[in-house]
Amino acid sequence: MAGRRTDTRERIQQVALELFAERGYDKTTLQEVAERLQITRPALYYHFRTKEAILAGVVDRLVDSVDELVTWARQQPMTAESKREILRRIAELLADQWRPLIQFAQVNQGAMREVPAGERMRQGMISMLSLLVPAEASPVRRFEARLAVLAVIMGNVPFLVDTDLPEAERVAVALEVAARLVSEDG
């Protein structure tokens, strides 16, 4: 039974994010979320009382996965291979669960600044961005590392890149560019 409840919560979050991206966070109501899911509003309220609670749950999952990635990455030697693996894992998480939230955040930047979940997401992203170079690296190297992560994001979020490449090829190109940005001879 607990598995079904978790599946329902995840489905609500997925549909809500779709609506938030389509209509905007502020313009989307819980009634519209319930209608898209073909459930009653009380059934929706059983899982989430507010839009903020839905968004917080999505962000919590994203930040938990960022925290896991950061913990793993900090235990690795900082080699070219480990940097590539960090970038590959970021791409994998984007393809799996982050893409809808990144799209939502892009469309709803104002809402993300106003909700506590937005700050938690920002902090998680900052810790992830710091993985690829040491803190004492030059400002140029730190900026290149951030651009590397952004390249991976751009390769995984199709509306950010104007290209006719198939998804797998676009992701591979983005990973190659990202790896070059954090290479030792970068």
41-79 pLDDT, tens digit per residue, is 999 999 999 988 998 888 888 888 888 998 999 899 888
Tokens for 126, please give them.
């900052």
Q: What's the pLDDT at 97?
A: 67
**Residue 27 phi, psi dihedral angles, 5° rounding:** -90, -10
Would residue 43 count as lying in a domain?
no
Q: Report which residue type is found at 163.
A: T
Ramachandran sector of residue 166 (left: φ over 0; alpha: ψ -120 to 50; beta: rest): beta
Q: What is the pLDDT of residue 20?
A: 84
Domain range holding 128? Answer: 55-181
Q: Is 33 part of a structural domain of the chain?
A: no
In this structure, is residue 121 part of a structural domain?
Answer: yes
User: Does a structural domain hold residue 15?
Assistant: no
| Domains in the chain, number | 1
CATH number at residue 98: 1.10.357
173 domain residue, yes or no: yes
pLDDT of residue 85: 93
- Residues of the chain with pLDDT below 50 are 1
What's residue 160's pLDDT?
64
